[in-house]
Every structure is written in structure tokens, then in C-alpha cells.
Amino acid sequence: MKFSGKMLPYLLKMMMKKTDTVLYPSVEAHVRSRFRGSLKFDSEKCIGCKLCVRVCPSNAIEIIKVEDKLFKAVVRLDKCIFCGQCVDTCPKDALKNTKDFELARPDRASLTVEI
């Protein structure tokens, strides 16, 4: 394999240039203010209308009645596409997007979260 003489100046130039990528685990990631991460559910605000369930395009949300005027949400993070439609349609703001983006799990069953 021949080494082209034309490539040497380019390689030297690139070796001195700062990288464009971020070293994520060692450098903290910058998350924008409107980032849509994992969902947060406030059971005290929920009225059980299930509008969030109806508008979810991936059927990732389930609202379960625990007792009178108390509900819990079961969110399947493996199905969720983080579109934010459930957050936008909730009339009582019971659902919020967090900035949590580190959602990787070793098994799929642990991605079903009761909140």
C-alpha cells in the first residue's frame, strides 16, 4: 500500500484540529430547555380523563384507577417515542417531560415504569 504525498499535509492539519464530537461520559451533556425526555406523572393532579392514552401514537401509556380519585400511570418506555402529545393534551398538567435521557436498561421488562 502506497502512502500518497498529497495526504500527509491534510493528515497533519487534522491532527492539530480540535474535534467536533463531545466526549459524553467524561463531559456532562448539555440538554436544551425544550428537550423531551422521560415522563413524570403527578397522581394528585390526574382526573382520570385518559386523554393522554387516546392521543399517544404508540400506545405507551396506561392509566389505572387505584381508588376513588386516585390514578397511576404505567408508561412503556420501550414503546414511547417521546413526542410530547400526552403532555400537551393533559388538561390538568399531570404529565411532564423531564430532561432524563439515560434510559438504557439491560432488559426490556425494566422499561415498563409505574409512575
Number of domains in the chain: 1
CA distance 39 to 58: 14
Does residue 111 contact residue 63 with C-beta atoms inside 8 Å? no
Q: How far apart are the first and last CA of the chain?
A: 59
User: What average pLDDT does the segment 83-100 reach?
Assistant: 89
The helix, strand and coil proportions of the chain, stated in percent and rounded to the nearest 5, come to 20, 20, 60
> Quick check: helix, strand or coil at residue 109?
helix
Reported pTM: 0.67
- Per-residue model confidence (pLDDT) at position 17: 82
pLDDT at site 55: 92
CB under 8 Å to 18, separation ≥6 — which residues? none
Residue 1 has pLDDT above 60, yes or no: no
**Domain housing 93:** 30-114
Residue 46: phi and psi, rounded to 5, are -70, 135
Highest mean pLDDT among 9-18, 48-57, 100-109: 48-57
With bands split at pLDDT 50, 70 and 90, how would you rate the model's confidence at 2?
low
User: Coil, strand, or helix at residue 75?
Assistant: strand
- How buried is 106 (Cβ within 10 angstroms: 0-12 exposed, 13-18 middle, 19+ buried)? exposed
In a domain, 75, yes or no: yes
CATH code for the domain in which residue 47 is found: 3.30.70.3270
Whether 6 is covered by a domain: the verdict is no
Q: What is the pLDDT of residues 37-65, one digit of tens each?
A: 888 888 888 888 889 899 999 998 998 88
Residue 1 falls within a domain, yes or no?
no
Q: Is there a domain that residue 4 lies in? A: no
Does 3 map to a domain?
Answer: no
Per-residue pLDDT band for 69 (boundaries 50, 70, 90) equals confident
